[in-house]
Amino acid sequence: MTHTPAPTALKAKHRALWALGDYPDVAATVIPDLGQALVEACTVSEGDRVLDVAAGSGNASVPAALAGAEVTASDLTPELLEAGRARAEADGVSLTWEVGDAEALPYPDASFDVVMSCVGVMFAPFHRVAAGELLRVARPGARIGLLSWTPDGFIGRMFATMKPYAPPPPEGAQPPPLWGDETHVRELLGEGVADLSAVRRTVTVDGFATPEAFRDYFKACYGPTIATYRGLDQDRAAALDEDLATLARGFDEGGGVMRWEYLLVTTRRA
């Protein structure tokens, strides 16, 4: 499968964005169970050759390795892979950590038994290209598992809230939460897969005592939020402060408990 890769400058920008703040802490303390949920949905077992695309700091890669799989964790941002290596060492598991672009994966066709991504590949800007790469590296019959934030869930709404404050996306780029729309994912994968299942689930987030605490944590730790604030003057930053706190307030079920919706897609390579 051939395609025109995104400009190097755009890749460098995305790499730098995810190095901002402390995404490994977000993965480890805010959404620690998502990777395990994806690994279980993909029925990862001993001996499977697994590729975790846009793996970040290994939220799904490490649980897959703990299940006995031969895991390659691929991500555009080296800083995230370094954090993943440290986590894997602490957990006593060995896996391969490699810098790789989800839109141009550095692996031969039909290389893996499981290809998965936990709130990762959804952030590659050109969805059709990324989907083509997921299919290309999966062997016939391989399991494919994708866990993505939905457009109407909390994180999808957060990106919609930040959009008016952020620079325009690259021409042709699609919003990340579209990967959380079943119709969109089915269209992307098309006849390349069979037996596709898509279920909406929620993860409970209860680490923020107030809406303002959530906002301030994401301003400090979450790359896309940090990048959005960087271009704002004082008044616009104050307006975004209020908009993000209002969003969190609307999802608060009491005592700071929120439920963030995601779409879990499991399928197999045709």
Instruction: Quote the pLDDT of residue 61.
Output: 98
Domain spans in the chain, listed from the N-terminal domain onward:
8-204+261-269
Residue 110 per-residue DSSP state: T
Instruction: Quote the pLDDT of residue 4.
Output: 45
Q: What is the dihedral of CA 80, 46, 197, 175, to 10 degrees?
A: 10
Q: Is pLDDT above 70 for 223?
A: yes
How far is the C-alpha of 54 from the C-alpha of 48, rounded, in Å? 19
Q: Is pLDDT above 70 for 73?
A: yes
- Residue 239: pLDDT band by 50, 70, 90 thresholds? very high
What percent of the chain stands above pLDDT 70?
97
Mean pLDDT, all residues of the chain: 96
Instruction: Quote the pLDDT of residue 8.
Output: 86
CB 76 within 8 A of CB 15: yes
Order of strands across the sheet that contains 112-118: 96-99, 70-75, 49-53, 112-118, 138-149, 258-269, 193-205
CB 56 within 8 A of CB 75: yes
Q: List Cα–Cα distances, 111 to 26, 115, 128, 142, in angstroms.
A: 30, 9, 20, 10
What backbone torsions phi and psi does residue 113 show, to the nearest 5 degrees?
A: -85, -30
Average pLDDT over residues 242-252: 98
CA torsion through residues 221, 222, 223, 226, sign: negative
Question: Residue 104, SS3?
Answer: strand
How far is the C-alpha of 107 from the C-alpha of 229, rounded, in Å? 36
Residue 28 per-residue DSSP state: I
Average pLDDT over residues 236-259: 97
Q: Is pLDDT above 60 for 2?
A: no
Instruction: Name which of 65, 60, 64 is nearest 75 in CA terms.
Output: 60
Q: Which fold has domain 8-204+261-269?
A: Rossmann fold (3.40.50)
Instruction: Quote the pLDDT of residue 268.
Output: 98
Q: Is pLDDT above 50 for 80?
A: yes
Average pLDDT over residues 190-199: 98
Average pLDDT over residues 226-233: 96
Q: Is pLDDT above 90 for 193?
A: yes
Tokens representing 201 are 């689930």
Average pLDDT over residues 33-45: 98
Residue 196 per-residue DSSP state: E
CB 179 within 8 A of CB 151: no
Instruction: Name which of 102, 86, 88, 89 is nearest 60 in CA terms.
Output: 88
Average pLDDT over residues 97-112: 98
Q: Is pLDDT above 80 for 1?
A: no
Helices (H), the chain: 8-19, 23-25, 34-41, 61-66, 78-91, 127-137, 154-162, 182-189, 211-221, 223-230, 234-251
Instruction: Quote the pLDDT of residue 7.
Output: 63
Q: Is pLDDT above 90 for 6?
A: no
